[in-house]
């Protein structure tokens, strides 16, 4: 579903050019779980932003579902993000003034689902992450792990083809992180593609493939044996 050929990214100012990503080739198929690892500042988030249509690449070709991304208008990119992509961030990005139900409801309203379908999607997503009984709670009433589960529920409520997760366990203790990784594995097992940036090599090993980025250079992918978390 995702194919990058000779893709590169450079940031250019009036007096300096910074090559964030050197040219690389990468293909990720539908239903894969891929971890992207590397040290801070290596280009991982830049890669994820480009893959998730949040940022433009500088050179090369990026095809998403067979479409050349460079030929898509901003409106088309926005529509694709809303309909087919889910995002999970390290900082949860929940709206503190809204309860869990409404946090998940907001992006569904943009897609103009009717009230009945929105309710069905919200409750199904909350049940999947184990928080259906707390739909009226607010983010500040939850632990960090529970807030991340809400963020995942928000991502899956729209039935995305792919979820981009940027350090989804970065703010969690090991027990909470373990729960989030189990949840992501379950979502992937249902057919959703997951591309996860992480600094945790142990968690990276739970994916089907590993992509390493260092100093903007994407190394060979390392196949791993998918494991279930005990």
CATH code, 109: 3.40.50.300
Give the pLDDT confidence score for residue 225 in this predicted structure.
52
Instruction: Identify the residue whose tokens are 């280009």.
Output: 43
CA R_g for the chain: 18
- Measured in whole angstroms, how far is the alpha carbon of residue 143 from the centre of its chain? 21
Longest distance between any two alpha carbons in the chain, whole Å: 56
Supply the pLDDT for residue 15. 82
Q: Kindly report the pTM of this predicted structure.
A: 0.90
Pairing of strands 193-197, 162-166: parallel
Mean predicted confidence (pLDDT) in 71-97: 94
CA atoms of 135 and 64, how far apart (whole Å): 34
Q: Looking at residue 1, what is its pLDDT?
A: 85
Q: Are 150 and 131 in contact (CB under 8 A)?
A: yes
Q: Which of 140, 130, 156 is nearest to 98 (CA)?
A: 140
Residue range(s) defining the domain that contains residue 80:
2-221
What pLDDT does 221 receive?
A: 63
The candidate with the shortest Cα–Cα distance to 56, out of 16, 9, 88, 3, is 9
Number of compact structural domains in the chain: 1
Environment class of residue 230 by beta-carbon count within 10 Å: exposed (0-12), middle (13-18) or buried (19+)? Answer: exposed
Please name which of 160, 162, 165 lies closest in space to residue 91, comparing C-alpha atoms.
Answer: 165
Give the pairing type, strands 222-223 and 209-214: antiparallel
Per-residue pLDDT averaged across 187-210, rounded?
93
Q: Is residue 226 part of a domain?
A: no
pLDDT, one tens digit per residue, over 47-69 is: 999 999 999 999 999 999 999 99
228 exposure class (CB count in 10 Å sphere: 0-12, 13-18, 19+) = exposed
The mean pLDDT of 115-144, rounded to a whole number, is 96
Strand ranges, E, within 29-174: 33-37, 59-64, 67-68, 85-89, 162-166
Please report whether residue 189 resides in a domain: yes
230 is a domain residue: no
Q: What percent of the chain has pLDDT over 70?
A: 95
């Amino acid at each position: 579903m995702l194919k990058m050929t000779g893709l590169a990214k450079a940031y250019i100012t009036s007096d300096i050019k910074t090559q964030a990503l050197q040219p690389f080739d990468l293909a990720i198929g539908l239903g894969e779980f891929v971890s992207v690892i590397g040290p801070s500042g290596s280009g991982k988030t830049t890669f994820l932003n480009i893959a998730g249509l949040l940022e433009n690449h500088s050179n090369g070709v990026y095809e998403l579902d067979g479409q050349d991304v460079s030929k898509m208008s901003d409106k088309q990119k926005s529509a694709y993000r809303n309909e087919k992509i889910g995002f999970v961030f390290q900082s949860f990005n929940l709206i503190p003034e809204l309860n869990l139900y409404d946090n998940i409801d907001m992006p569904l309203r943009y897609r103009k689902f009717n009230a009945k379908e929105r309710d069905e999607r919200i409750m199904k997503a909350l049940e999947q992450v184990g928080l259906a009984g707390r739909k009226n709670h607010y983010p500040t009433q939850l632990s960090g792990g529970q807030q991340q589960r809400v963020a995942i529920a928000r991502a899956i409520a729209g039935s995305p083809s792919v979820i981009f997760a940027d350090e989804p366990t970065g703010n969690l203790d090991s027990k909470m992180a373990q729960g989030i990784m189990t949840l992501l594995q379950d979502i992937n097992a249902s057919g959703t593609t997951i591309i996860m940036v992480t600094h945790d090599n142990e968690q990276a090993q739970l994916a089907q493939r590993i992509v390493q980025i260092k100093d903007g250079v994407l190394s060979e992918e390392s196949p791993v044996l998918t494991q279930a978390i005990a």
